[in-house]
Amino acid sequence: MKTIAAQPFDFTFDPAHLALIVIDMQRDFIEPGGFGATLGNDVSLLSAIVPTVGRLIETFRTAGLPIIHTRECHKPDLSDCPPAKRLRGKPSMRIGDPGTMGRILIAGEPGADIVPELAARPGEIVLDKPGKGAFYATPLGEILAEKKITHLVFAGVTTEVCVQTTMREANDRGFECLLAEDATESYFPEFKKAAIDMIRAQGAIVGWTATVDQVAAALR
């Protein structure tokens, strides 16, 4: 067994049952001209964590542990995109519209891909998901069961939307979950802080948080 010096208390796990889930580190959220930018967000906040997420991924690669990357995107015919999602708000471009990196949030388009610095390596799983949570309408649950995973480390964007939703889904399914707090980011710093506080409040009601250095120290 190994232990990460986490908050609100130590996170103890068997490395044979640990996996990393990297949520939506896609060009559409992180680069100018993508979905995040069409919603009026400052994407530079998110691009700043790319090296830290890369360090966490390398830690798991070195330890030989499973890595799952997710991408929020939709089929080209939008059959998996509820109209409520596409039509809500007043973005400058909607899901499926042609943007500078191809059609916004559409599978197979350049903008839907993971930023090149964090591209998946052979053997790593890349899961396309139509929702905020990575368990909804994907085989994630079956993949984790097949690999006998019980403990999950999370990274990616955005903290309070797809990361927190997936962590809550995982928590409800019985996984022990830890968020790498410097390998996740929000367009709204106050939302990131609130999400981290919520996750570890009430005796880790959703899960634990720790820095990438703390995770790496335990896996070395």
Nearest approach, Cβ of residue 39 and ligand C5J (Å) = 8
- 31 scored as a contact of ligand C5J (CB under 6 A): no
CB 190 within 8 A of CB 59: no
Q: Which residues contact 68 (CB under 8 A, 6 or more apart)?
A: 19, 20, 21, 22, 124, 125, 126, 127, 140, 143
CA distances from 98 to 33, 60, 189 (A): 10, 36, 29
- Of 157, 178, 179, 204, the one binding ligand C5J by CB under 6 A: 157
In this structure, the strands spanning 98-99 and 102-103 are antiparallel
- Whether the link from the prior residue into 158 is cis, omega within 30° of 0, is yes
CB 43 within 8 A of CB 200: no
- 209 scored as a contact of ligand C5J (CB under 6 A): no
In this structure, the strands spanning 102-103 and 125-129 are unpaired
Say which of 24, 28, 113, 182 is annotated catalytic: 24
- Of 45, 73, 140, 161, the one binding ligand C5J by CB under 6 A: 161
Only segment of 9-17, 119-127, 156-164, 176-184 that touches ligand C5J (CB under 6 A): 156-164
Q: How many residues bind ligand C5J (CB under 6 A)?
A: 7
Say which of 28, 73, 129, 132 is annotated catalytic: 129
- Of 144, 162, 167, 199, the one binding ligand C5J by CB under 6 A: 162
- 28 scored as a contact of ligand C5J (CB under 6 A): no
- 109 scored as a contact of ligand C5J (CB under 6 A): no
Residue 162 annotated among the catalytic residues of the structure: yes
Smaller CB distance to ligand C5J: residue 31 or 72?
A: 72
Nearest approach, Cβ of residue 168 and ligand C5J (Å) = 13
Smaller CB distance to ligand C5J: residue 4 or 196?
A: 196
Instruction: Give the residues lining the site for ligand C5J (CB under 6 A).
Output: 24, 29, 72, 157-158, 161-162
